[in-house]
Amino acid sequence: MAGNASCNRFTGSAEVSGDTIKFAMLASTRMACVDNAVSSQEMEYLKALAAAKHFEWKDPALLIYAEGYDKPLRFTRETPAMP
């Protein structure tokens, strides 16, 4: 899997079994964020991904629950831009 955490791109492997999910070996670029608040948010996001335990699909969102976090990460599908 791969994505953008805010200032940096990340990549890693994911293991899915039933409703469990585990992201392993997350690697990211090391570009500095201009804003300290954005940098802190990015670090927390990557920590939450690394702590992921299970997921569920609640249309229109994919919810990923991480150990130690009260609320799930919430992802929605992006509508492709029309040419």
Give the pLDDT confidence score for residue 77 in this predicted structure.
Answer: 83
Q: Let me know if residue 83 belongs to a domain.
A: no
What are the C-alpha distances in Å from 8 to residues 23, 47, 49, 70? Answer: 17, 14, 14, 25
Residue 71 inside a domain? The answer is yes
Judge whether 82 lies within some domain: no
Q: What is the CATH number of the domain that holds 56?
A: 2.40.128.270
Over residues 27-36, mean pLDDT: 92
Domain membership of residue 47 as a residue range: 2-76
Query: Binning pLDDT at 50, 70 and 90, where does residue 35 land?
Result: very high
Residue range 36-73, pLDDT digits in tens: 999 999 999 999 999 999 999 999 999 999 999 999 99
Q: E strand or H helix at 38, and its extent? A: helix 36-50
Residue 40 included in any domain: yes
Please give the tally of structural domains in the chain. 1
- The pLDDT confidence band at residue 30, using thresholds 50, 70 and 90, is very high
